[in-house]
């Protein structure tokens, strides 16, 4: 398998897959995302242009499966149109909360949602629009803040990976739950720029209480404080 993404969540998946006797052919990250202790022997490709590496990834992959975990990079046509089976674990329920996970969590709390989820889905040419394979749901308590929901979402993402790994790697194409008949929603950079308009929302303080994630999402912190939105590149909002 190929693992594509970033940070502790990706490397935790690599560790679990290796310990489960599955072959991790290659880990693909952005620059500077070094392997933690014990995983240094895994083949590791650092890139800022995923599509440019499709031949390298395809040549390395021994089972046609690519996992996308905490991944800020976009799979373009070179990947989507290949013979690789690409699965993404999205920190949010689909199709209601497509897009940037941090932005989606802010708006889920603003909307007063009492449930959230991590979603495993196939990758297609859209953004978080592929067929859903599995879902790990969890409650949002009335006093949960952004930090709580993000932490629970990351935990759910890893639990979903652990639960689905064997089925994806060894069985026939997993069949997901029936498609949800719910409105779709997309939360990108524009939804962060518009945050100041929600300051009167009773859930605004909870939704923007970033806690330990404040250094990770300075754009949300700045807009929530009433300032102008800084440059909102997608990588800074993953």
| Domains of the chain, start order | 2-188 (3.40.50.170)
pLDDT for 106 beyond 90: yes
| Degrees, nearest 5: CA angle 185-7-90 | 20
pLDDT for 194 beyond 50: yes
Q: Tell me the C-alpha distance between 227 and 10, whole Å.
A: 33
3 pairs with which residues across the strands?
Answer: 27, 67
Q: Under a CB-based contact definition with an 8 Å cutoff, are residues 39 and 102 in contact?
A: no
Q: Among 79, 81, 87, which residue's Cα sits nearest to residue 56?
A: 79
Mean pLDDT in the chain? 93
pLDDT for 63 beyond 90: yes
Whole-model pTM?
Answer: 0.92
More confident residue, 217 or 231: 217
Q: Under a CB-based contact definition with an 8 Å cutoff, are residues 126 and 63 in contact?
A: no
Handedness of CA 71, 169, 136, 9 (dihedral sign): negative
Q: Among 155, 160, 215, 225, which residue's Cα sits nearest to residue 192?
A: 225
pLDDT for 48 beyond 50: yes
pLDDT for 236 beyond 70: no
Q: Among 152, 161, 126, which residue's Cα sits nearest to residue 211?
A: 152
pLDDT confidence tier of residue 181, bands split at 50, 70 and 90: low
Q: Mean pLDDT over residues 59-73, rounded?
A: 97
pLDDT on residue 31:
97
Q: Among 117, 118, 71, which residue's Cα sits nearest to residue 234?
A: 71
pLDDT confidence tier of residue 238, bands split at 50, 70 and 90: very low
Take residue 135 and report the two structure tokens written for it. 């879902």
pLDDT on residue 38:
97
Q: Tell me the C-alpha distance between 169 and 66, whole Å.
A: 10
């Amino acid at each position: 398998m190929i693992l594509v993404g970033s940070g502790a969540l990706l490397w935790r998946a690599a560790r679990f897959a290796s310990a489960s006797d599955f072959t991790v052919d290659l880990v693909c990250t952005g620059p500077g995302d070094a392997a933690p202790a014990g995983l240094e022997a895994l083949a590791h490709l650092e890139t800022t242009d995923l599509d440019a590496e499709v031949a390298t990834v395809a040549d390395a992959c021994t089972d046609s499966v690519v996992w996308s975990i905490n991944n800020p990079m976009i799979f373009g046509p070179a990947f989507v149109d290949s013979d690789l089976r690409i699965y993404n674990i999205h920190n949010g329920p689909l199709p209601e909360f497509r897009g940037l996970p941090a932005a989606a969590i802010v708006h889920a709390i603003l909307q007063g949602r009492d449930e959230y989820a991590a979603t495993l889905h196939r990758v297609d040419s859209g953004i978080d629009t592929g067929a859903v394979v599995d879902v790990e749901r969890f409650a949002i308590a009335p006093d949960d803040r952004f930090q709580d929901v993000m932490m629970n979402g990351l935990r759910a993402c890893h639990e979903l990976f652990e639960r689905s790994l064997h089925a994806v790697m060894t069985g026939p194409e997993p069949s997901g739950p029936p498609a949800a008949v719910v409105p779709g929603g997309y939360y990108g950079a524009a939804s962060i720029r518009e945050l100041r308009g929600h300051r009167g929302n009773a859930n605004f303080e909870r939704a923007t209480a970033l806690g330990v994630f404040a250094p990770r999402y300075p754009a949300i912190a700045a807009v929530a404080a009433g300032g102008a939105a800084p440059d909102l590149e997608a990588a800074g909002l993953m």
